[in-house]
Amino acid sequence: MKRNTSVCPITNTLNIFGDKWSLIIVRDCFAGKHTFNQFRNSPEGIASNILSARLSHLENQGIIKSITSNETSRRKHYRLTSSGLALYPILDAISEWGLKHISGTEKRIEVPKA
């Protein structure tokens, strides 16, 4: 893990979630998606190479963990860790802000509390 160059919690958090794809993957985990293909098939259309990089990054940061499927040793399932689960209120707040302040947004995915 990269050493922090700042003591600012916002700066250090953005070092983990400073791109749109990371939080979309976390959102999708809350919405019940757990496999590479499920993430790739989200309506935002993440490219496979970016998805692979973000899954690896989130796993290295302790936000998600991968579990090898019993069906085949090649298929991984991704689950939120306790650190990842703690992101629920943040995603909910971002969603509510977007609904209130960005015209044309819709609450499409109800993110259940885990």
State the CATH number of the domain containing residue 59: 1.10.10.10
pLDDT for res 47: 96
Q: Is 71 within 8 Å of 36 (Cβ atoms)?
A: no
- Quote the pLDDT of residue 106: 84
- In order along its 114 residues, the chain shows pLDDT tens digits of 556 678 899 888 888 888 989 999 999 999 999 999 999 999 999 999 999 999 999 999 999 999 987 766 678 999 999 999 999 999 999 999 999 999 988 876 565 555
Q: How far apart are CA 98 and CA 61, in angstroms?
A: 26
Tokens of 21: 């794809």
The answer for residues whose C-beta is within 8 angstroms of residue 23's C-beta and 6 or more apart is 17, 87, 91, 94
pTM of the prediction?
Answer: 0.84
Residue 63 lies in a domain: yes
Q: Is residue 110 part of a domain?
A: no
Q: Which domain holds residue 62?
A: 9-101
